Chains A and B, each alone.
Chain A
């Protein structure tokens, strides 16, 4: 039995919600994390609220279903249901305009497009809101590939040392020596342009820095007294790695996640401009809007909305990222800033 795409997405959202609940439960149980995250919330209440807003919008857009009754239409997301059905025009219209931008034909929904419509007549506000899902997908999925990969390779390299460490170090320096934007382009051109491929390419270029950090931290942790004590007590290596090493890398994982996230979303915008990005991203909207600036009179709402949405998310994540780094780790990550 194969799932329809929108059902699979809905299940994905449910899985993410469950994961989020589990994480919240773990945080509440641990005094260290509860205290630190409360400190982050105290320092950056507004930025966190902005991020929460983006997450809610993306979540609403990810859940979709078909209308009951006869005639199977396309499934519509909860976000699209906040707008009237078939909320489209023939072409450009300015924000809150009554008529089309070119020609002045009357609109089907006069005065209801808060941010106007784009060249295909799609509502810009809706498109901009839908971009949140793509942006969070790029950042989230890429980190979900890159961070476990970096841990899986960096921690054993730091722990076991020797030949394995040499090999990993060789791999890291090889990947790091290629200019990242060129490597990214080469990867996407070679492996394809789907969402998964783009995230994979971003992950391949992005995991190196964290792998190096995880390796260095493992080297340090390995020599600490409590690890030595566990070894003396005869605890098996996998168990030491799982119980004693990994938990002490968690704060680095959180910091890396937040700090990498904004860079990934910005990279996707650049890729979009090169024609290698994801469908529906803000980068694509900016790319499409590029020619509109040379029209007269200027069509600014498309570009403006996408730029502002992108800027808002990145700024909020960067601000929270700074706070997270200061609260969780005052020293180690400085040089990577």
Chain B
């Protein structure tokens, strides 16, 4: 177990290095520092200001190799900063990025956590019902509805949600956020509802396939033969055995809870990490974008390791090799 865990962690570390290399190529090898400076300062900035900006943000170092001092390169600095979580300042407005992350993560979690915790039981319950009625009209209608629901762009869910609930019915505010627990639910109700509706279609379709497949196995027939009812078989026999695909499907979503829901946050004016990312895109803020991708990848790699460990707990058949 220990040897397996060490190997798994080393592999994770190697992936982190790969991500950092990829980000280096993407952001430092393709974009010229002067272009980044111009985007931040404006097209008409004087050359001295641009040179000063480049020096301030550390873009004036040699990229790969500095004969005088091998540690004084962009590549080395990029790795050092990312690995020590010293993210530096935003390219757009010089605010420390770490401070932004700390401010945003709470708002993001307050949106994504309810979305995640309500979404799983909702999708599982709906797909269990559909799978229970498999090969009947209820099943067929359910599947078609799921495909219809997943064919609608999230933009349309958001816009029509805002228009119907916010503008016409005036049940909830169209957008905005207030961390005060007394009123926060009023602001979160609409984005959470829209997010649930958007995710439900593909989840129901996926879990239905899982349950139907699991339901055609031998042990299910045995359970039926011994006189267990349809409901008992679904809840006591099929559901536990379907845990592996469910775990895989859900645990890898956890990192997304922290990096936020890009569109939902931005449309509904929730100042989370998703909104920060969208602002960074509009401001050409490469430094912030880089950090967001890195943090997202880091969380994802961690979640994958957790999934692998969870496998061994949920399924004794999985051997650690």
Contact = CB atoms under 8 A, between A and B. Distances in A.
Interface of A: 170-171, 173-175, 177-179, 181-183, 185-187, 189-191, 262, 266, 269-270, 273-276, 283, 286-287, 290, 293-294, 298, 303, 307, 310-311, 314-315, 318-319, 322, 334-335, 337
B292 A182 contact: yes
**Contact size class for B?**
35 or more
B301 A311 contact: no
Q: Give the interface centre of B152, B156, B245, B282 by most chain A CB atoms within 10 Å.
A: B156
A273 B263 contact: yes
A303 B159 contact: yes
A191 B30 contact: yes
B20 to A, nearest CB: 10
A307 B151 contact: no
Given A179-B300, A276-B281, A186 B289 contact: yes
Contact of A310 (B19, B153, B167, B213): B153
Contacts of A337: 205-206, 209
Contacts of B286: 189-190
A273 B156 CA distance: 11
Contact of B22 (A174, A191, A269): A174
Interface string B258-278: 010011000000000000011
B84 to A, nearest CB: 20
26 contacts: A173-B11, A173-B15, A174-B18, A177-B297, A178-B22, A179-B256, A182-B293, A185-B277, A186-B27, A186-B289, A189-B281, A189-B286, A262-B151, A270-B155, A270-B263, A276-B281, A293-B162, A293-B163, A294-B167, A298-B163, A303-B159, A307-B152, A310-B156, A318-B150, A334-B210, A335-B245
B154 interface: yes
Question: Which 9 pairs across A and B sit closest by C-beta, in order of nearness?
Answer: A174-B18, A179-B296, A315-B151, A314-B151, A178-B297, A177-B297, A177-B300, A182-B293, A269-B153
Given A178-B19, A182-B259, A318-B147, 5 more contacts: A189-B281, A286-B155, A310-B156, A315-B147, A315-B148
A179 B15 contact: no
A185 B151 contact: no
Nearest to A319: B147
Given A174-B15, A178-B19, A191-B30, A311 B213 contact: no
A41 B252 CA distance: 36
Contacts of A187: 26
A314 B163 CA distance: 23
A337 B255 CA distance: 21
Contacts of B307: none
Pick from A183, A187, A191, A286 the residue with the most CB of B within 10 Å: A183
B153 A182 contact: no
A311 B153 contact: yes
Nearest to A312: B151
Contacts of A318: 147, 150-151
A322 B152 contact: no
A177 B159 contact: no
Contacts of B30: 190-191
B151 A170 contact: no
Contacts of B281: 185, 189, 274-276
